Structure formats: C-alpha cells, structure tokens
Structure 1
Amino acid sequence: MPLRTEPDWRHGAVLLDPQHTRFALWAPDAKEVSLVLDDGQRLAMPALADGWFVLEAACSAGTGYRFAIDQRLEVPDPASRAQNGDVHTSSRVVDPAAYAWQHSTWQGRPWHEAIIYELHVGALGGYAGVERQLPRLAALGITAIELMPLAQFPGDRNWGYDGVLPYAPQASYGTPEQLKQLVDTAHGLGLMVILDVVYNHFGPDGNYLGEYAREFFREDIHTPWGAAIDFRRPEVRRYFIDNALMWLNEYRFDGLRMDAVHAINDPQFLKDFARQVRAAIEPGRHVWLNLENEFNQAGLLEEGFDAQWNDDGHNTLHVLLTGETDAYYQDFAQQPTRKLARLLSEGFVYQGQANRHGEARGEPSAHLPPTAFVLFLQNHDQIGNRALGERLPRLAPAQALQAATALLLLAPMIPLMFMGDEWAASEPFLFFTSHHGELADAVREGRRNEFADFAAFNDPQRREAIPDPNDPRTFEASRPALAALDLETDQGLEHRQWLALYQQLLQIRHAEIIPRLPGAFALGTEVLADGAVSARWRMGDGQVLRIDLNLGAQPLALPRPAAERCLWRSPAHSTEPSQHGVLEPWTAIVSLSQQDSAEIQDEQ
C-alpha cells in the first residue's frame, strides 16, 4: 500500500480499516527496524524523519507482532494496545471500535459529587470480578471507583506501578473488551470510573526503550526509579498525552489520577497535559483529573486539575489516631491538632514550611475550595507501605476511628476510601509483585530495608519477618474477604456494624452535603484541646456546616451552643445534642445551621 503522509505520527499500531494497520515506532537510535508478525513474516519499516519508522501493512485486529531492532533485538510495541501474555511476548493489534457500548450517552457526574472507592483489580478477581462488585458499591452510595494502575507489568501479580506498557491493559485481569464492559456497567449504575496512571517512570523489567530511544530519558535528572523521562521531547509528550486520551475516549474512563507527579520534573508539561486533554474531550462531558504531588503545588489546581490527594490530611489524622511518629510521620508529630486545624481550613498542612529535613515544602492553598483536596484515612500506599500492611481498625480505637470516618465522609473535601474500609476489613494489604531471579531478590531485600527507620524494625532479624512481595501467599493474604460480612460471629457482627455506619454517613452526604458543596468555603477551625477541633464551613446555600471532633480521651465543653440541626453524632444511632454541651471522648458531632451573612463576613 502507498504510505499516507502524516506530519506527527501516533505511537503504536493504528487500525486503518478492517484489513490494514499502520505501525509506527519512534526509535531514533536504531539504524533499521522490521515488523515481525507472529506468522513469521518480517517486513522492513521505512525510516522517516525525526527517528520514526512507519509501515502500513495488511494486518487485521488480533494480529500478533513485534519490532526487530537492527537485527539484534525483538521487542514488544511500547504503545501496545494488548499483549499476548506478558511484557516479553508479542503485542496484538486491537480494534478500538469492536466493543458495543450500552451506555454511550453517559456524560459523567460533576466533581463535587465524587465519593471515591479505590481498589486493586487483581485482588478483586480481575475486570469481571470488579464488575460483580459494582451494584453493591452503587447501593452503598459510592459515586466513583478508582482502579490502581492497569498498564501491563511483568508476571500476573503487581500493584501496577511496575508497568512498562502504558497502553496495554494488564492481560492477566482480562481482555480490553472486558475492561470496557466493566466501565460500561459502572456507567449504567451511575458510577464514574477513574484510572490511576503512572507517567513518571517505567518498571524495572520489560522496558526496552533505552535500547533504541535513549532520548526518551534524561541522564541529568534522576528519580527514585532511575533516569527521568524527558518531557521536553515532543514525541515523549505525545506518547503520554495520547495514552491519556486513549483511556478517556476509547475506554470511556471518567478521570485519571496521576501518580507522583513530583517526579515528572516538568510543571509546564503538566499544565499542557491538562489543557490538551480537556480540549480533546467532547463538550458537556465530565472528566476528572487528579494529582498525587508530594510538592503540594497548589498552583496546578488552578491549571486544569480538579484536586490533589491530600497526604497531609492522612498523615495528620494517622498520628492523632495511632500515636505513630516514625519516619515520614515525624513531619506531623509536633502539634498535630494545630496541623489538623490548618488542613481543615486551608487544605495543605505544608504550604512552604520546612519539613524534618529542613526543606521548604508546598505552596499556599487557603484560597482553593475544599473540593480541591481528596481526603482519606487509608489508601493503597498508606496501608501497603506499612511493613505488615495493617489497616487502621488494628491500630486505632474503634470509637476514634468512627469519629474520624464521620469527618472523612461529611466534611466538604472529596472523600476517598480503600477497598474493605466500609466493613473494617481484617485482611492486610501488602506490597506484592511477581518478579523472578535477581530482581526478585533485590525487591525483597529493598522492601525490608525500607523499614530500617521504623523503631519496630530496627533489628535486621525483625525485618526478615516482613512478607516477601514475590511469594504468591503475600498476594492471597491481601485479597479482601467479603464473606466475613456473613459470619455469624462477633467478628461478622462488627463488620456489619461498620457497614451500617458507612451507609448512614453516605446517605447524609448525598442528602445534606453534596447539594450544598458548590461555592462552599472554610470559616475557620478552632483548636479545643489536644486531638479536638471545631471546624466550620459556609456552604453554597448559605448554611453553616460545623464538625466538632474529639479524637482525644478526655471530655470537653463545646465552644458554642449546639447548632440548629444535628446531622450526626457519635454513637451513630443518636442525633440528639450532646448532654450539657459536652463533647465526649472519641466523638464527632456534625450539624447545620443558618447564620447571618454579616456575621460570616466578620469571622472571615
């Protein structure tokens, strides 16, 4: 076939019609590239300008292929849409229009309605296993599920952050069509679907880009995973922006959570990314863009991104709930209650202050709305990056955790929970991979050495007890046991009580908080005592939301008379005002009241 000219090639295999596919590989270090088909054919790919090798061939959907570099190395397509197995096997041509969408008119939900449920697809049984959970989650009151990364990784067990083929959904979880069916079913239930994407590095096994495209990386800047990705290159920028658009337009994902953007080292790319992605989305469709960003760059939240995961919020609440102050929790050990007051009123705790290393961290964030911050008590990192993967119900008093859960689900920030939180799952969530050989040894030892700064694991012999990430039993132990809800035991009863608490709080959020969120802003937070605060927000309809929270062990006098309408108070079954204006230990009271606008102005 004659080659069509195109000034800016799209990475990977693009199906042109049912019988023809265009293959494009950016390989500036290669002298020659051939397309190697699974049927044995080898087709030379013409070299074009700027390091591109492009060929149109008579190949239909389902064709397996690789690229041969300089007759010395055969590699999968770095923009593979599907793999015939692992990251070292052949790639497969995919027809993006093959799936028949049942809810093609779905336009999503506005950001202020977000109640996010993070989950690991493999731990729940693959794409089909997650799909089976969707009716339960929708009935609970969840409005969005967030999938940990799906980019193809080596082996069949992994958190997903070792992915090396960002365009290929993990084959061990199911087919691309099963993933689309998962998204489609979610939309039919009113659920948004967010995908966690990793654009800051590639995993250590199966990444061949350095063999033929060294310009993809820059050696002058290094990240914890090696040489940084060079986002100055237009080919690199397009690789990731096109990847985002594939997930959003072809798979109909409703949003992306961008992992660790502080390791991208190019704020301009992030701004361009948000602008170009939003420009490519059909008008009227709601798409959410969220960040994980250790630098607390509040400015990015005014440049096309909806919100940031607020690690400061988690870390502060974790210190108050558990008393742990090891390692990075040291940054929140001093005056944690004042830090809680700041984050409830202003978003970030660190807004330019020095951390434990003496380094300034963060930017001012008080001008941002509460919905610019995703708050959580647990997530995959904060459970899985514990040596033994313990969840908060094993670390904190139950009543205190219930009060903190009320804060999470009824405050104006966007709440996120991790799979199993809603029934206080007993199973840990451990770090797991399926590496082999020397890499498996290095990951196991590196994992154990990470905890040398934690008092409980100072002893090397104690670190030996940390589960081996590559042992299949580590993965199996991390799968939440839904059957525990049905146990006719005290443990089963406790799980059902937690589930009832989540159901009640989410019903209140839907009825009382979400409709009032647009236009909400903080009025300030008063420190009452160690572990106790009274926070207030003016909601969009003019009413004042107040949360009195006591995570301490001593009763306190309320700072002002009880509000007009109590939405919830501990214990969960009671909505009566606290007796004699006392805020009991491990208690939260959530209320709404009318307030004169002049009084609000005076308080600001």
Structure 2
Amino acid sequence: MTRAAYPLPFGATVLDERRTRFRIWAPDEAQLQLEIEGQPPQPMTRSDDGWFEAYGSCGAGACYHYRLDNGVAVPDPASRAQADDVHGDSVVIDPRDYDWQHPQWQGRPWHETVLYELHPGACGGFRGIIERLPALAALGITAIELMPVNDFPGARNWGYDGVLPYAPDAVYGAPHDFKQLIDTAHGLGLSVFLDVVYNHFGPDGAYLHAYAPRFFREDRHTPWGAAIDFRRPQVRDYFIYNALYWLHEYRLDGLRFDAVHAIEDDGFLAEMVQRIRATIAPHRHVHLVLENEDNRAELLGGDRYDAQWNDDAHNALHVLLTGEHEGYYLSYAERPADQLARVLAEGFCYQGEPMPSLDGKPRGSPSGRLPPTSFVFFLQNHDQIGNRAFGQRLIELADPQALRAATLLQLLCPQIPLLFMGEEWGTRTPFLFFTDHNAELAPKVTAGRRREFARFSAFSDPAQRERIPDPNDPLSFHHSVPDARESAHGDHADWLAWYRQLLQLRHAQLIPRLVGARARRADALGSHAVAAQWTLGDGALLTIVANIGADAAPVAWPVEGHPLIETRDGVASAVVNTGSMPGLSACACLLLPDSRGDSE
C-alpha cells in the first residue's frame, strides 16, 4: 500500500536492480537500437505490428535513448523523467522507490470540491507548492489543480507545449518531488488535480513525427499541426494509459482534460472514461473534468465525466463586470444578465442556439437535467487572464464592489467554484503568456501571439501590437509570479478575509446540503442583476441576489430565509423587506426545511 507503480505496457519497466524492459511503438522504422549510457548500442526486437522491445542490464537512474535508422537519437515517448529537457536522454525510474506516507487517503466527494488552479513554476515548483498547502487548506480550499507538468521545451512554459506526457518537467522537480507534493496535500485533507493535454503536442521535441507518423492524420489539421489519429488503438492506449498512470502511480485525485473539443473522435472520450472508471476502487474518489467548447452535456453525469469548466458562466459575468464585447464576448454582449440567469438555472447558456462569435453556428446541447455540481464556475483562470494581451486580472478591470458581489455568487452558488492563484487576495500581478523556445521558433511564437490580437480594436494598429509582451522574454514569466506576502497587507488582506468568510459559509451551510441540490428558478433583474434559488438536498431553499450594476434593481419575487451574508450592511434587509436590490451588491439567504411550511 505504501509503494505505487502502474504497469505500463510500454516505456521502461524496472524488473529488478539490474534489469529493465524497454518497449516502444515505432511502426515506420525497420530497426531500432537501445542506447544506455555507458553501454554499447543494443538492437531491439521488432514485432509485425511495429512494437520494438529489448531488455537492458540496468536499473533505476540509468539514462537511455533510442537510435533511429537515420541516426537520430530520440527520447522515450513514455519517459517517466528526462535528464536534460525534451531533447535529452530519458531516465529509468522505479516508481516503487517512493514510500507513500498517507496510503489510506481515498479522496474527497466531488460536491466538497473547492478548486484552486495554479502554475507550478510561478509557485516555486513542487517544493514551493508544498510550502503553500497549509495556508490553502486553512482558507477553505479542498483541491489544488496544477496546470500541465508534462515535459516541455525550455525552462518556462504554461505547460500546453508539452511533448512527453509521462515525464514531470525537471524544472519543477523530480518525480519524487511531485509525489511528495501529492502526499503532503493528502495529509492536509487536500485533493490534487492535474491538467492533462491529449489534443496536441507542442511544436518542439515531438519526435513521434519521426518514427510514428501514422500517430497523426494527414487529412485533419489543427492550430498545432496535424491532428492526432485517435482511430488507432495504439494512439488511444498511449493517452488512456497516461491518465491511468497519473491516477494510480501518482495517486492523483482528478484530471482536467484540456480542450477536448479539438479531439476529433467521439469514441475516444467515451472509451477513456469507461476504462478509467473500471480501474478505480469503489471507495476511492477520483474526479474527471472536461474543458469542452462544444458544451456537450451528454458527456456529463452518472458514470461519465463529473463536470465541465463553465465558460458560459465566466463569459456572461465578465461582460457584466467589464462591459467588454469583442471576441467571444460578442456572444454575451446583448443580454448578459439573462444568459447568466440561464447558467444558474440550467448549467450552460448555449444549449444548441446559434452563437454570434461562431458566425451563427449552433453550440451546445440541453443541460437542464444535470445537477449544479456538473459545472465548474470561475471568475478567472489561466486562460481568461493569460490570453489577454497584458494579462490583467479582474481587480484591474472591474469595480471592486461589483467584483465582491460576483465573488459571493460564485462561491455560494451550488456549482463547483474554481479560483486562480492570487485571486483570493486580489493580487494585481498579471499572468502573461510565457514560453522559452529556441532561437528559430521563438520569433515565430512572438509574431503569432501579437497577430492574434489584430482583430481587436485596441490593437488594430501594428505599433500597438508591438507593445504586447514577448512570451520568450524571461521577464514575461517573472512578472507573472504573484507574491503571497501581499496578502497580509491593506486591501489584499481585506480581499483574503472576504474569500475566507465566503468559503467558511460554503463549508458550514452549503456543502452539507449540496448532494441532491437542484435549481428552482433564476431570473434577470433588468440589465445587470440576477436572482436565483436552489432547493438543496435537505429541502432548504438557497437564494442569491447579485447586482453587478450601479442602479438598484427590483426583485421579481419574495426572498425568504435567514440572511447568510451580504456585501455591505442593509443589502439583505432591503431585498427581503422592500423587494429592491441596491446597486453593486449581493446577498445570500437560506430558508431551512422546517421554516418553509406551505411556501412550496
């Protein structure tokens, strides 16, 4: 129980201290050699289906690579660790070397989840994150979610340019360090989620193109190049085993699957969730979350995926908070309050309707059957901050009182909340797009980044686009590192106290009642306010009214119950007694089952 190793059918598998099996799929190679550091090259045995296998006289810690017919040395595509970035040798790892200190940990139920997304590099690597865990647990966070850790080129990256999905990037720490992070989190009652990328490989170091071009499709292309061919069982296995590897060998509690709308194979997502669920012990809590621009509700619920990041919730609220209406915000510009009300009542805003920012193409499917916990509700995340030209956070863009109101709605509604690092103390540190590409690729990435903003009015002038930070400048990373010491001072301390108060209420009043919760009604109150009610699992009635605008808004129906919290004194009494919601404010009320009487 204290040693965990997942038996992969490929890669380097330690058999004993002096013997390791190596296996790789290279269907377009006639021959392949295994080269272990300090040993002569060793020919590998090829099977008819393109698999190569060899047994090497080495154990954990040995460095190795494969040599192709054309003389090129390539790393193991299932490398558990790299000695020197993505172009260097792979390292044999014996996962049984780590002794887990909390093997009894079985995770937490999904409805208890309060997610905290972070970038490992900006938090000081795996060891730096360990230092922050006690404070996050004390705040009321129940799960941290790491942006991708798979090995990427260079020393700085968001993680979505990874090319070796089984190897934690050495810039964050060794596999042992990552396991220690997860182990420490479990000891504090925290779950750990990992963002994984199965829709593409990065532009530098993806050697699969050299020896397994059939891994990709010639007839489909994506913004990242040739599409991955998920029709092939070897390809599906490569990614499904990766998910299983993280969940079993690293004892992760959940995965967030990046941009699955870019995976052009409906069957893959269904097969992956089925195979994962089949391996999880009944008493263990493992959670699977999608990012999916297609809003496919049929993938959620039951024994499928637990939840999806709810871009509709963010986008409608962002328009209300900032007034922005370009890009994909165009689809939320006309009736954001109505769209937010639909999100609160049914999950998705777009459930098959035409979307203006998609040239009128329909998006989504009906989601009203799903419980609120099928949706992850965020005001900010790495994409929504980092994909802005200057990486500004909402604290720089919105009225602070309106932002307090939106935060109350986010953290006390029955959807699953997600925070982005530093949000809880109102940091003004930006989160920029940053990379560390080679001299040939770097200027292309910089030019492409700036070109993306040409369609926005603020950057129609090429001279304005030149002001956008260069992703490859080391300062773009260093300027994106929030300083947690801020949280003890001034407005930052006030924001932190507000988040702590809201999360304490969520844990005390909402989470115990969340199983079985269902939306009862939600309505727009004019152009900038919403009121929503949910019947909770024990029959209690939760009501939240939030007004993002400056003007008071009439509430369309009586609000009953005990006020839980308000953004400023007098807001709840105004709503309950006069039916009017003051501007730039929010409140939450709870009517317990024994107080509801015949009000149903």
Which TM-score band applies after superposition, normalised by the shorter structure? Answer: over 0.9
Partner of 1:443: 445
Partner of 1:532: 529
CA drift of 1:283 comes to: 2.7
Partner of 2:3: none
Partner of 1:139: 138
Counterparts in 2 of 1:291 and 1:597: CA distance versus 1, 3 Å: farther
Counterparts in 2 of 1:286 and 1:464: CA distance versus 1, 3 Å: same
Separation (CA, whole Å) in 1 of partners of 2:173 and 2:146? 14
Q: Is the 8 A contact 2:574 2:580 kept in 1?
A: no
Secondary structure, counterpart of 1:159 in structure 2: coil
Q: Is the 8 A contact 1:550 1:586 kept in 2?
A: yes
Secondary structure, counterpart of 1:479 in structure 2: coil
CA drift of 1:560 comes to: 3.6
After superposition, residues 333-352 of structure 1 pair within 5 angstroms as: 333-352=333-352
Q: Deviations over 1:262-308 (max 9, x none)?
A: 01111211011001011112231000100000100100003510000
Q: Is the 8 A contact 2:86 2:151 kept in 1?
A: yes
Q: Which of the numbers 384, 387, 390 marks the counterpart of 1:385?
A: 387
More off after superposition, 261-270 vs 197-206: 261-270
CA drift of 1:327 comes to: 1.0
Q: Which of the numbers 460, 470, 483 marks the counterpart of 2:485?
A: 483
Q: Is the 8 A contact 1:562 1:577 kept in 2?
A: no
After superposition, residues 416-435 of structure 1 pair within 5 angstroms as: 416-435=418-437
**Aligned partner letter, 2:274:** R
Q: Is the 8 A contact 1:568 1:574 kept in 2?
A: no
Query: Normalization by structure 1: what TM-score?
Result: 0.95
Partner of 2:416: 414
**Aligned partner letter, 2:279:** A
Q: Which of the numbers 495, 517, 542 marks the counterpart of 2:539?
A: 542
Separation (CA, whole Å) in 2 of partners of 1:599 and 1:353? 35
Partner of 2:512: 515
CA drift of 1:594 comes to: 4.2
CA drift of 1:71 comes to: 4.5
Separation (CA, whole Å) in 1 of partners of 2:588 and 2:53? 61
CA drift of 1:564 comes to: 2.0
Partner of 1:402: 404
CA drift of 1:574 comes to: 8.1
Partner of 2:21: 22
Q: Is the 8 A contact 2:295 2:365 kept in 1?
A: yes
Partner of 2:498: 501
Partner of 1:474: 476
Separation (CA, whole Å) in 2 of partners of 1:485 and 1:239? 42
CA drift of 1:535 comes to: 0.5
Separation (CA, whole Å) in 2 of partners of 1:575 and 1:548? 9
Q: Is the 8 A contact 2:381 2:419 kept in 1?
A: yes
Partner of 2:184: 185
Counterparts in 2 of 1:597 and 1:372: CA distance versus 1, 3 Å: farther
More off after superposition, 426-435 vs 581-590: 581-590
Secondary structure, counterpart of 1:444 in structure 2: helix
CA drift of 1:580 comes to: 3.8
**Aligned partner letter, 1:42:** P
Secondary structure, counterpart of 1:97 in structure 2: helix
CA drift of 1:41 comes to: 2.0
Q: Deviations over 1:310-339 (max 9, x none)?
A: 011101100000000011110111211110
More off after superposition, 172-181 vs 563-572: 563-572
Q: Deviations over 1:178-232 (max 9, x none)?
A: 0000000000000000000000000000001011101111111222111111111
Q: Is the 8 A contact 1:30 1:70 kept in 2?
A: yes
**Aligned partner letter, 1:587:** S
**Aligned partner letter, 2:587:** I
**Aligned partner letter, 2:98:** Y
**Aligned partner letter, 1:590:** A
Q: Is the 8 A contact 1:347 1:370 kept in 2?
A: yes
Q: Deviations over 1:543-597 (max 9, x none)?
A: 1111111111111233344422111111289875656443110111101114669
After superposition, residues 323-362 of structure 1 pair within 5 angstroms as: 323-356=323-356, 357-362=359-364
Partner of 2:61: 62
Partner of 1:3: none
After superposition, residues 292-331 of structure 1 pair within 5 angstroms as: 292-302=291-301, 304-331=304-331
Separation (CA, whole Å) in 1 of partners of 2:456 and 2:91? 45
Secondary structure, counterpart of 2:475 in structure 1: helix
**Aligned partner letter, 1:469:** P
Separation (CA, whole Å) in 2 of partners of 1:111 and 1:21? 39
CA drift of 1:16 comes to: 1.6
Return 5+ residue gaps in structure 2 as ranges: 1-6
Separation (CA, whole Å) in 1 of partners of 2:334 and 2:420? 27
Return 5+ residue gaps in structure 1 as ranges: 1-7, 487-491
Is 1:590 aligned to 2:588, yes or no? yes
Separation (CA, whole Å) in 1 of partners of 2:142 and 2:570? 24
In the alignment of these two chains, the number of paired residues is 588
**Aligned partner letter, 2:128:** G
Secondary structure, counterpart of 1:56 in structure 2: strand
CA drift of 1:236 comes to: 0.9
More off after superposition, 578-587 vs 368-377: 578-587
**Aligned partner letter, 2:324:** E
Separation (CA, whole Å) in 1 of partners of 2:61 and 2:340? 54
Separation (CA, whole Å) in 2 of partners of 1:127 and 1:14? 25
Partner of 2:92: 93
Secondary structure, counterpart of 2:500 in structure 1: helix
Partner of 2:565: 568
Separation (CA, whole Å) in 1 of partners of 2:39 and 2:375? 53
Partner of 1:253: 252
Q: Is the 8 A contact 1:112 1:517 kept in 2?
A: yes
Q: Is the 8 A contact 1:566 1:577 kept in 2?
A: no
CA drift of 1:358 comes to: 1.4
Partner of 2:114: 115
Give the alignment's Cα RMSD to 1 decimal.
Answer: 1.5
Q: Is the 8 A contact 2:519 2:534 kept in 1?
A: yes
Q: Deviations over 1:124-180 (max 9, x none)?
A: 110000110000000000000000000000011000000000000011111100000
CA drift of 1:436 comes to: 1.9
CA drift of 1:123 comes to: 0.4
Partner of 2:277: 278
Q: Is the 8 A contact 1:85 1:172 kept in 2?
A: no
CA drift of 1:40 comes to: 4.2
Separation (CA, whole Å) in 2 of partners of 1:527 and 1:484? 37
Separation (CA, whole Å) in 2 of partners of 1:562 and 1:346? 20
Q: Deviations over 1:366-394 (max 9, x none)?
A: 11000000000000000000000000000
Q: Is the 8 A contact 1:35 1:66 kept in 2?
A: yes
Q: Is the 8 A contact 2:571 2:582 kept in 1?
A: no
Q: Is the 8 A contact 2:571 2:587 kept in 1?
A: no
CA drift of 1:72 comes to: 1.8
**Aligned partner letter, 1:352:** G
Q: Is the 8 A contact 2:337 2:525 kept in 1?
A: no
After superposition, residues 48-87 of structure 1 pair within 5 angstroms as: 48-87=47-86
